[in-house]
């Protein structure tokens, strides 16, 4: 119902910059509604390939984001920060590799065996 009202209000494509399909959130909403309608009518055995489209129902909660401006800003900022997060991840992995190489060179297999000095080898633990 919401999609139909927006289509009537904004127009589908040819009404300029405010057209329904020119907004990414509306495209997502349109796809969710279309796949939901297809999955409702795909109960017959001849349309078994449409049953795979039922997986699209998972993104239905994202429709709430398109209605709330604060959530929309938060999700877009998370999406825009993925590149920076990836760079920090790569630098962190490089530091782990660097300290791993230093550790291997410094200890040189010293932890391979348990070594007790000769004066501590005869100590028994009393409980």
pLDDT higher for 110 or 121?
110
Residue given tokens 């782990």 in the structure block: 96
- First CA to last CA across the chain, in angstroms? 76
Buried b (16+ CB within 10 A) or exposed e, 88-123: eeeeeeeeeeeeeeeeeeeeeeeeeeeeeeeeeeee
- The per-residue pLDDT for range 74-101, each reduced to its tens digit, is 888 999 999 999 999 999 999 999 999 9
What the block records as the tokens of 111 is 């932890």
- The per-residue pLDDT for range 37-74, each reduced to its tens digit, is 776 766 665 566 666 666 666 666 777 777 788 888 88
Residue 6: which of 22, 16, 20 has the closest Cα? 20
Does residue 2 carry a pLDDT above 90? Answer: no
């Amino acid at each position: 119902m919401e999609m139909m009202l927006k289509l009537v209000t904004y127009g589908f494509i040819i009404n300029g910059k405010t057209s329904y399909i020119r907004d990414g959130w509306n495209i997502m909403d349109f796809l969710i509604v279309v796949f939901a309608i297809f999955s409702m009518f795909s109960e017959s055995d001849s349309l078994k390939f449409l049953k795979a489209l039922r997986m699209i129902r998972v993104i239905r909660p994202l429709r709430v984001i398109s209605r709330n401006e604060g959530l929309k800003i938060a999700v877009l900022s998370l999406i825009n920060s993925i590149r920076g997060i990836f760079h920090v991840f790569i630098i962190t992995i490089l530091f782990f590799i660097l300290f791993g190489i230093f550790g291997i060179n410094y200890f040189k297999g010293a932890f391979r065996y348990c070594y007790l000095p000769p004066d501590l080898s005869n100590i028994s633990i009393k409980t």
